[in-house]
């Protein structure tokens, strides 16, 4: 190759942040991009167009790639199965991310992550291997939540609910973060910046994960182009150079989610105290006092769960189910009330194909969330659980206040 041709083939490196790491006989060119930049799209095209790379890696996971390349991907979802397998919260997180991306696309005139999509399309056109090196959003969200305490999870959950309803323009600060290059950090910026645990899961862990994936998946390639957000460039290069552990073992470790205790001791202890308090009321005050305390429990837990379901626009049968199931929490601590209510909602008001197709649009407005049967099921799950949690604590406080008085 002549000097002139070499200079031309490296032009894309002059306009984009980048790093080159050589390890184990493989030369990795890490191309840092901005997720809302046409210049990044052009740089990706130019880089792959040089013909010097044997493989292309991108900062995507399979579900995100499918969302970028297949607009009808959500229409193939089995919502009933999502509820039964306890993946509603993960589905809600993906909806929030999808709605955020749609707002950005309309505001800026460019699809967030378009350069990643372009990298995949360009590589496929040239029959180059494509490696998806990012961790799935659901796993990242689960690992982040697992590191938080009760109030941290409540804050994350309430923030997620709030983000579902956001329909205003994306702020300049978040857009700048996207230019620095990480979609998840910008999407959950309020939490990632204020919580070291979330920052570790959303940013730092993924640097290690993607470095491990690069080492694990390069195959026979000796020249690999990795297209990643500029915010990951420094950390990814560092781990790619310095990590000594086997990539398969490291990846497996970073995909694991700390299992919840099979026996929820904290919940059981609180429930035991409440039951003991009601029993004490019967023993000390007789039938009238005990019945009053028991009624407090039923009214607060069932009432607030039903209220949450009503606020979600739930079907009458869903509301009744929430009211009946919530007071039975001592006997089913591992089954969320919202899951029961949402399952009935999905069965009584089964989402149509058009609801799935309209998800990206409807998820941007409050009216859309209540109009679309898919999003209304998600609202049912989240607001019913929130109502149950409020009723649980209020009833416990009320019962023990009466006993103490």
The pLDDT-based confidence of 86 (bands split at 50, 70, 90) is confident
Torsion angle of the four alpha carbons 79, 81, 84, 86, in this order, in degrees rounded to the nearest 10: -80
The pLDDT-based confidence of 266 (bands split at 50, 70, 90) is low
Mean pLDDT to the nearest integer, 87-96: 71
- pLDDT score recorded for residue 341: 92
Higher pLDDT, 113 or 242: 242
Which residue shows structure tokens 């009744």?
320
Mean pLDDT to the nearest integer, 81-85: 77
Q: Are 208 and 250 a contacting pair, CB within 8 Å?
A: yes
Give the span between the Cα atoms of 269 and 243, in whole angstroms: 43
170-186 per-position pLDDT tens digit: 555 555 555 555 555 55
User: What is the model's pTM?
Assistant: 0.67
Higher pLDDT, 329 or 232: 232
- pLDDT score recorded for residue 259: 63
The pLDDT-based confidence of 335 (bands split at 50, 70, 90) is confident
Pairing of strands 223-229, 130-132: unpaired
Cross-strand partners of 19? 30
Interior angle at CA 43, CA 39 and CA 49, nearest 5: 145
Is pLDDT above 80 for 166? Answer: no
Concatenated DSSP letters for 269-312?
Answer: HHHHHHHHHHHHHHHHHHHHHHHHHHHHHHHHHHHHHHHHHHHT
Assign residue 310 a region (left: φ > 0; alpha: ψ between -120 and 50; beta: otherwise). alpha
Is pLDDT above 60 for 53? Answer: yes
DSSP code of residue 327? G
3-28 per-position pLDDT tens digit: 333 334 456 677 778 899 999 999 99
Is pLDDT above 80 for 270? Answer: no
The pLDDT-based confidence of 30 (bands split at 50, 70, 90) is very high
Higher pLDDT, 207 or 66: 207
Concatenated DSSP letters for 323-359?
Answer: HHHGGGGGG-TTS-HHHHHHHHHHHHTPPPHHHHHTH
Instruction: Give domain limits for the chain.
Output: 3-255, 265-404
Name the burial class of residue 73, with classes exposed (0-12), middle (13-18) and buried (19+) by CB atoms within 10 angstroms of its CB: middle
Cross-strand partners of 29? 20, 225
The region of weakest confidence among 210-219, 274-283, 309-318 is 274-283
Q: Encoding tokens for residue 207?
A: 């640097």
- pLDDT score recorded for residue 23: 93
Residues 6+ apart with CB under 8 A from 237: 19, 21, 30
Integer distance in angstroms from the first to the last C-alpha of the chain?
89
Is pLDDT above 50 for 1? Answer: no
Is pLDDT above 80 for 332? Answer: no
């Amino acid at each position: 190759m002549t000097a002139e041709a070499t200079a031309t083939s490296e032009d894309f490196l002059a306009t984009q942040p980048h790093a080159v790491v050589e390890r184990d006989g493989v030369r990795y060119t890490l191309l840092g991009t901005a997720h809302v930049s046409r210049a990044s799209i052009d740089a990706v095209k130019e880089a792959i167009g040089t013909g010097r790379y044997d493989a292309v890696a991108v900062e995507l996971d399979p579900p995100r790639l499918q969302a970028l390349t297949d607009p009808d991907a959500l229409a193939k979802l089995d919502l009933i199965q999502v509820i039964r397998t306890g993946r509603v919260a993960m589905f809600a997180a993906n909806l929030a991310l999808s709605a955020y991306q749609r707002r950005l696309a309309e505001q800026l005139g460019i699809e967030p992550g378009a350069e990643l999509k372009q990298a995949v399309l360009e590589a496929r056109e040239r029959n180059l291997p494509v490696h998806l090196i990012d961790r799935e959003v659901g796993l990242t969200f689960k690992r982040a939540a697992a590191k938080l305490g009760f109030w941290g999870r409540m804050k994350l959950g309430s923030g997620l609910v709030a983000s579902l309803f956001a329909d205003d323009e994306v702020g300049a600060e978040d857009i700048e973060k996207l230019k620095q290059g990480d979609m998840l950090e910008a999407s959950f910026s309020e939490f990632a910046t204020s919580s070291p645990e979330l920052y570790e899961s959303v940013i730092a862990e993924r640097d290690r994960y993607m470095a491990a994936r690069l080492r694990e998946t390069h195959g026979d390639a000796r020249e690999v182009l990795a297209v990643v957000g500029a915010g990951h460039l420094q950390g990814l290069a560092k781990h790619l150079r310095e990590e000594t552990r086997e990539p398969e073992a490291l990846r497996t470790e970073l995909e694991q989610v700390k299992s919840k205790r099979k026996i929820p001791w904290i919940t059981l202890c609180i429930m035991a105290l409440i039951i003991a308090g009601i029993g004490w009321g019967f023993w000390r005050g007789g039938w009238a006092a005990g019945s009053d305390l028991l009624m407090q429990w039923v009214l607060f837990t069932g009432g607030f769960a039903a209220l949450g379901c009503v606020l979600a626009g739930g079907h009458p049968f869903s509301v009744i189910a929430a009211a009946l199931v919530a007071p039975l929490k001592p006997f089913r601590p591992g089954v969320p009330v919202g899951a029961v209510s949402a399952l009935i909602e999905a069965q009584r008001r089964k989402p149509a194909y058009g609801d799935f197709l309209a998800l990206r649009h409807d998820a941007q407005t409050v009216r859309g969330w209540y109009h679309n049967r898919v999003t209304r099921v998600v609202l049912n799950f989240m607001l019913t659980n929130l109502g149950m949690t409020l009723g649980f604590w209020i009833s416990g406080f009320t019962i023990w206040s009466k006993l103490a008085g």
